Amino acid sequence: MMMKVLFVATVRSHIGQFHMPFITALKQRGCVVHAAFKDNSDEKPGLDLSDIDKVFEVPFSRSPYSADNIKAYKILKKIIDENGYDAVHCHTPMGSVVTRLASKDAAKRGTKVIYTAHGFHFYNGASKKNWLLFYPVEKYLSKYTDCLITINQEDYDNAVNRRFKAGKIFKVNGVGVDISKFHPVAREEKSRLRSEYGYSDNDFILVYPANLTAGKNHPMLFNAVKKVAEKYDFIRLLCPGQEELAPQYKMMVKELNISDKVEFLGYRRDIEKLVGLSDVSVSASNREGLPVNLIEAMAVGNAIVATDVRGNRDLVKDGENGFLISLGDSDAMADRIIKLIENPDIMDKFKAQNLTDVKAYSTESVIDQMIKIYKELNLI
């Protein structure tokens, strides 16, 4: 008998960017796959969801205070109750809250409820408000979760040690990265890419693929670039990502007199080329689940300089495949970047280690982990 599963996320792009390889793997095993989300194609166009058999528009809001989520609950409950799913697999904070509430009746009829937590909003160092708001909700809803999947060690430890009531708790290595698409770039190809994109072989290029939001903490990088530029004028920082805070960030780099060093590239579909032409991948993020941008950096063989926060530290071992920096320490980040500029042998060491380590985070590896979980749940 074919399994029928519903994937749910707050927005369409989350499914399109992170879950299509696994969905395709399920389809190849004869499964029927539906998906429910709010369509944000205008923000992130070009994502292929053609392997999904049927999609539903649900008016989710990322805000826990929005009345739209009440509408979303009613619509989603109707979808779940009418379609007789073997499993409902939810993602994203508000998407997962609404889905688990909407699945309660279906669960009594045997539907398995799976939740992949891409980074709990409560974490070591999070605000008291986050702990007061999100922790009780997640712990309460865990009893309506047949399977909780975490993607970093801290979240897994919190779920287990704080006795979340999910039927099963697993840790997997994120959502997987296509290492046939993200792969090492030979010197000649890197030079060609740089020429195509208007950069010089003499430029030392940093790349930070991340939406321009407060949580991604770009100002820390701007201050680091300012310091590096005082010694090495050929430093460049590329910032591809949705430009939510672009106006104030452009003003900030202008005030720092580094407008010629920092480029805001907007939402891009050529991230593999931007990472491939770069020397170092950086992250100043305040927190992560398990950052795809750093896994992509590892697959290309870039050295990494990142903040020592949840998610980043799961991937980067300080001094082995990159450098970890205390959150907010722009001077230390600048010093590590300068160290890489001045020591190509360290860059080579980090590259070799990353190309070895990334295999555990490949799409194939993660799909294998997910298939084992679905088998353990007797779904396939």
Enter the tokens of residue 226.
């300012």
pLDDT per residue over 335-380, tens digit each? 999 999 999 999 999 999 999 999 999 999 999 999 999 999 999 9
Task: Name the residue with tokens 């070009």.
Answer: 46
Task: Name the residue with tokens 């509430």.
Answer: 101
pLDDT per residue over 196-232, tens digit each? 999 999 999 999 999 999 999 999 999 999 999 999 9
pLDDT per residue over 280-339, tens digit each? 999 999 999 999 999 999 999 999 999 999 999 999 999 999 999 999 999 999 999 999
> How far is residue 337's CA from residue 342's CA, in Å, rounded to a whole number?
9
Q: How many residues does the chain have?
A: 380
Residue 1: the pLDDT is 64
Q: Are 284 and 220 in contact (CB under 8 A)?
A: yes
pLDDT per residue over 74-88, tens digit each? 999 999 999 999 999
Within 236-362, where are the H helices? 246-255, 271-276, 292-300, 312-315, 330-342, 344-357
pLDDT per residue over 30-72, tens digit each? 999 999 999 999 989 989 999 999 999 999 999 988 999 999 9
pLDDT per residue over 116-135, tens digit each? 999 999 998 889 999 999 99
